Chains A and B, each alone.
Chain A
């Protein structure tokens, strides 16, 4: 398995296959560029509210314009004082960052958003980020509680049971990953094997 896993990782990280191989098969029909642009716009409207967030350095970011647009990203929710699995997910993501190396900040941008923005000031986030040795390309965000709630719901970090939905711990196990330009979105568990998470993220780095 290991060999094929590395092979697939390598395959996903290189340019997609074109030329001779593609011409050997029947040609694919294509959808109009307009409808694809419209689909991307619908996704933006429905799932990516352009709310203002602040990172651990107190820099201002708009969620769509500055965080997800044209990028390959990971998005997860956490809060600094969470004593259950948040620290485990964050330390696992730190491992993921290590596996991905300098691609983070270049090809991939990692984003962790606080579910308790009142407590998690940029200063708190800075300390949390340092504690977990988060490198460049991995931002920790806070913002207005209503904006963060809107973001959480828009991105589907919810539970259909209203009581469980109130429990912040129910929303911290997931890591969304996606390529905004290519409209490729999926998710993996924050507690999954760090190498497998890194491999999954690499699936959406494509040039097609």
Chain B
């Protein structure tokens, strides 16, 4: 089914024509070619005054489908698996005071780079202060690899790690992080990485000056004071004065967001967790929702895939790719294929995909019983507790997405089981499509002509993390998800949007674009009215790319995928990243509340993001009416 912007049915040919016409127009406008003289000069206007045929002007105008081309894979040296324990990132520790003390206006004399004065510092005075320095660290990622120089975070209390230490934050306890750039000179970057940073707290309901905007980067010797009020959305709008508890966030993460260099800097290690607790999600399994206690039984897991140079064994980053980067080594919390000793009881794991470009579908695998289904429970999507736990056989996430899961290890007492990624992905375009995805499409096959399915067989995928389930029955005060405890209700999406905006994600002459335009730090694409409701339509006109799309400031709910309610149960949730699949149109519901200022919308395949698939927008007391920003 094809529709125009008014929701009327149109033929496929007409739909394609509309897309092409709109694209051509946007390209001409983007090129600043609005006068007939310009068009004539560039050979785009014929003598008869009509626009010349522009075949090939757009990458995907030929409607090509090829998801099977193998990416430029480099083989890393062999590494032993499951010989080192899973690192658990230490907890970020506060400092008693900051010197010089924080100022409402950016303290440029002391070297601060902040884009604006604090919006709500006096309303939410910080009770915890952190003094964090981004710096180079020597780490071992595997006994099969030499020591690596990566970039991480140092909390000034003896915790300097990559991934960085984990923040344990609490609603109602505002905090402030002084974030220093203490990275080495560029000439010592080991082959990639820009020592110029801006740290985004992903999914926080934060004022824009503390958001870590991609364009607010700073060099060595400078810092940004980032005020994290830890306040619920709606505190000054829909649900004053404390906000809506049904908007509570649990699993957030921080990462570098430096425009054009995010993929290199996050690959180099500038990522970490930020866990946000409240009176329900308490971190103590004897209180609140009775979720497994942090940190013993509530374990954050950072997943990253990397490539190592075959000769030197050093971490390698493909500087010259447009599509995306896939690694052939799978790391969890900074170690290649680690193991974790667990007790036969329930655990909460917070799974985060930091990319750069890979999607994961997690299964629980018993290598001695490959035909067994080993279900587990999803309790949160993008760090937001679901209304009720959902039992699954597997769960899929893209870059920047999170799922919180509960695994009950009682059935595996005395055994070894694995968290396995069984999703096949062979290049930066996204996962291999399921069979029959597009009628008539040639399916992906190997050199022998065997069709490659999107899901690899049990035990035949990427074994990520080994669980050694030891000991006998133990005390477990955590709630059994099978009893279907209620968490938060989903906020209503019935409100009428002030405006519905459309964003088309596309590849244009080898570059990544949103609505035919490119990232530009000096331009806002659109202006949202403070405390208003908007719908966004995300459109993927290409047949062969999946884009994990992230919008800052507020979460969204997915109203429809290709005009049908989402079929995936866990998508009945609050999201901050939505996977935009090939040929898809996704309708999102937003409520932009409380804060003013600038934020981005972007693809979170960080290679696409670095190649301009991003745009800035801002919240102001008055909104605009730009439909396709």
Chain A contacts to B: CB under 8 angstroms: 1-2, 4-5, 8, 11, 16-18, 21-22, 24-31, 33, 35-36, 38-40, 42-43, 47, 83-85, 87-88, 91-92, 154-164, 167, 169-174, 176, 178-179, 181-193, 195-196, 199-200, 203, 206, 208
Question: What is the minimal beta-carbon distance from B213 to any residue of chain A, in angstroms?
Answer: 10
**Is A5 a contact partner of B521 (Cβ separation < 8 A)?**
yes
**Is B184 a contact partner of A29 (Cβ separation < 8 A)?**
yes
Given known contacts A16-B219, A173-B508, A160 and B196 CB-to-CB distance under 8 angstroms = no
Complex Cα gap A26–B159 (Å): 13
Given known contacts A31-B190, A181-B187, A191-B31, A170 and B59 CB-to-CB distance under 8 angstroms = yes
Return chain A residues, CB-CB under 8 Å to B56: 84, 167, 169-170
Return chain A residues, CB-CB under 8 Å to B191: 36, 39-40, 42-43, 183
**Is B220 a contact partner of A17 (Cβ separation < 8 A)?**
yes
Return chain A residues, CB-CB under 8 Å to B619: none
Return chain B residues, CB-CB under 8 Å to A188: 260, 518-519, 611-612
Question: What is the minimal beta-carbon distance from A30 to any residue of chain B, in angstroms?
Answer: 5
**Is A1 a contact partner of B511 (Cβ separation < 8 A)?**
no
Return chain B residues, CB-CB under 8 Å to A189: 508-509, 511, 513, 518, 611-612
**Is B188 a contact partner of A36 (Cβ separation < 8 A)?**
yes
Return chain A residues, CB-CB under 8 Å to B190: 31, 35-36, 39, 183
Residue of B154, B196, B429 most packed against chain A (CB within 10 A): B196
Return chain B residues, CB-CB under 8 Å to A88: 31, 33, 42
Listed A/B pairs (5) with beta-carbon separation below 8 Å: A26-B180, A31-B184, A174-B611, A189-B509, A189-B513
Return chain A residues, CB-CB under 8 Å to B43: 83, 87
Given contacts A42-B316, A161-B66, 11 further A-B contacts (CB under 8 A): A16-B221, A27-B182, A28-B220, A33-B188, A42-B191, A91-B42, A160-B69, A170-B510, A173-B511, A199-B522, A208-B195
Complex Cα gap A136–B126 (Å): 55
Which of A24, A39, A163, A200 meets B111, CB within 8 Å? A24
Return chain A residues, CB-CB under 8 Å to B382: none
Complex Cα gap A155–B184 (Å): 27
Interface window among B317-325, B338-346, B393-401, B479-487: B317-325
Question: What is the minimal beta-carbon distance from A31 to any residue of chain B, in angstroms?
Answer: 4
Question: What is the minimal beta-carbon distance from B456 to any residue of chain A, in angstroms?
Answer: 20
**B494 contacts partner chain A, Cβ-Cβ < 8 Å:** no
Residue of B nearest to A89 (CB): B509
Question: What is the minimal beta-carbon distance from B245 to any residue of chain A, in angstroms?
Answer: 36
Complex Cα gap A173–B56 (Å): 12
**Is A28 a contact partner of B260 (Cβ separation < 8 A)?**
no
Q: What total of A-B pairs shows CB separation below 8 Å?
A: 228
**Is A29 a contact partner of B137 (Cβ separation < 8 A)?**
yes
**Is A26 a contact partner of B71 (Cβ separation < 8 A)?**
no
Complex Cα gap A186–B27 (Å): 23
Residue of A nearest to B191 (CB): A39
Residue of B nearest to A162 (CB): B69
Residue of A16, A92, A170 most packed against chain B (CB within 10 A): A170
Which of B136, B217, B429 meets A160, CB within 8 Å? B429
Residue of A nearest to B259 (CB): A200
Question: What is the minimal beta-carbon distance from A73 to any residue of chain B, in angstroms?
Answer: 13
Given known contacts A40-B191, A184-B194, A170 and B509 CB-to-CB distance under 8 angstroms = yes
**Is A183 a contact partner of B510 (Cβ separation < 8 A)?**
no
Complex Cα gap A145–B236 (Å): 63
**Is A17 a contact partner of B319 (Cβ separation < 8 A)?**
no
Given known contacts A36-B190, A156-B321, A196 and B520 CB-to-CB distance under 8 angstroms = yes
**B278 contacts partner chain A, Cβ-Cβ < 8 Å:** no
Taking CB atoms and an 8 Å cut-off, the chain B residues in 465-509 that contact chain A are 508-509
**Is A21 a contact partner of B186 (Cβ separation < 8 A)?**
no
Given known contacts A157-B510, A208-B186, A203 and B260 CB-to-CB distance under 8 angstroms = yes
Question: What is the minimal beta-carbon distance from B396 to any residue of chain A, in angstroms?
Answer: 21
Return chain A residues, CB-CB under 8 Å to B30: 191
Given known contacts A18-B221, A158-B322, A162-B69, A193 and B59 CB-to-CB distance under 8 angstroms = no
